Copies of this chain bind each other. A is one copy, B any other.
């Protein structure tokens, strides 16, 4: 993959693109999964810049929803949702640096049907919720199990959705907070942006020594917005490579792949997520590509692209991007 040589990670990461050791973070090695992004637990693993980690993630329900007849409200135990692997300590990462994570691969893991989606009371994009509080009756609970392979997601007997896996929840620890893994924010977390996929490198601002990487919540496929709140959730074997860019401040996560650069903003209402993402993208164009700020504003007006990650989590996430073809 030619483009990697010119990626930010390879140009400025401490490992300069070389691969280090490969670590295996199995379910056993992980032991207890985590439900918050925070600085308090001891790391389950320590890696050096350039190292790869093969991670066994659980699905967002910790594998507890096994049948279509299961009742999410009886099985799920708030706030113990969206279990995360980690924290992974990254040598040399300090507050004010960036941790770069290249996603190598995501494979479904476990017995079929591996994929799960569900309707959960007072959760989702087209229902009243705990925040958009209404008096209407909640929708009925409902579970759908789907066979998932790298060939596709068997949505039903007629429709197979392409297997387009990504990491729903990925990020680093805040400095002093420990926040539910259901929430996306400036440290990453539950962004649910389908571009956080194999082939992409994601950049996070580091807030504490060793950064503390968390990940989980892999999806076999997801539409824009994750409409009902639950994608095709699956346990996975996910391989990432981690590096560190020293002394470089970014306010929100960034992403690049072969085709575009993207900034990720999370907020409510949704327009604030878009504002954050686009302002960060202007900042990127100004800082690294030599653009004048207002000229960049004009340019993104004509050529920027927007990806809606989620419209269901405690903050909504939007990615704003610009094609690399313009930036040569």
B144 adjacent to A139 (CB under 8 Å): no
Contact: A126 with B306, CB < 8 Å? no
A223 within 8 A of B: yes
The contact string, 1 if C-beta is below 8 Å from chain B, for chain A 185-229, is 000000000000000000000000000000000000111111111
> CB-CB < 8 A to A127: which residues of B?
128, 134-136
Inter-subunit contact A226/B301 (CB<8 Å): yes
* Tally of contact residues, A, Cβ under 8 A: 83
B177 lies within 8 A of A275 (CB):
no
List 6 additional A-B contacts (Cβ < 8 Å) besides A36-B176, A225-B278, A308-B308: A130-B276, A136-B136, A176-B178, A177-B180, A227-B301, A306-B308
Q: Any chain B CB within 8 A of the CB of A230?
A: yes
Of the stretches A16-24, A47-55, A264-272, the one at the interface is A264-272
Pick the contact of A178: B35, B38, B267 (CB < 8 A). Answer: B38
A138 touches B136 (CB 8 A): yes
B36 touches A223 (CB 8 A): no
Residues from chain B with Cβ under 8 Å of A231 in the complex: 301-302
**Binary contact readout A264-288 vs B (1 if CB under 8 angstroms, 0 otherwise):** 0101111110111011101000000
- Interchain CB contact under 8 A, B306 and A224: yes
Selected interface stretch from A57-65, A103-111, A290-298: A290-298
Residues of B within 8 A of A305 (CB): 223-224
Closest to A226 in B: B301
The listed residue (B131, B144, B226, B276) touching A272 by CB distance below 8 A is B131
Q: How far is the CA of A153 from the CA of B225 in the complex (A)?
A: 31
Task: Given A301-B222, A301-B230, answer yes or no on A134-B144 (Cβ-Cβ < 8 Å).
Answer: no
Given A38-B178, A176-B79: A126 and B223 within 8 A (CB)?
A: no
A322 and chain B: residue at smallest CB distance: B223
| Structural contact, A136 and B133, CB atoms closer than 8 A | no
State whether the Cβ of A137 lies closer than 8 Å to any Cβ in chain B: yes
Q: In the complex, are the beta carbons of A300 and B138 less than 8 A apart?
A: no
- CB neighbours (8 Å) of A293 from chain B are 135
In the complex, whether A175 has a CB less than 8 A from a CB of chain B is yes
25 contacts between A and B (CB under 8 A): A35-B176, A38-B178, A124-B297, A127-B135, A128-B134, A130-B251, A133-B265, A133-B280, A134-B275, A134-B279, A135-B282, A136-B138, A144-B298, A155-B302, A155-B303, A161-B302, A161-B303, A178-B179, A221-B303, A224-B320, A227-B304, A229-B301, A231-B302, A268-B271, A306-B308
A15 at the interface (CB under 8 A from B): no
A225 to B278, CA, bound (A): 10
- Confirm or deny: A326 has a beta carbon within 8 angstroms of a beta carbon on chain B: yes
Are A225 and B306 in touch, CB under 8 angstroms?
A: yes
Residues of B close to A128: CB separation below 8 A: 127-128, 134, 136
In the complex, what distance in Å separates the CA atom of A301 from the CA atom of B222?
A: 6
Does A117 have its Cβ within 8 Å of any Cβ on chain B? yes
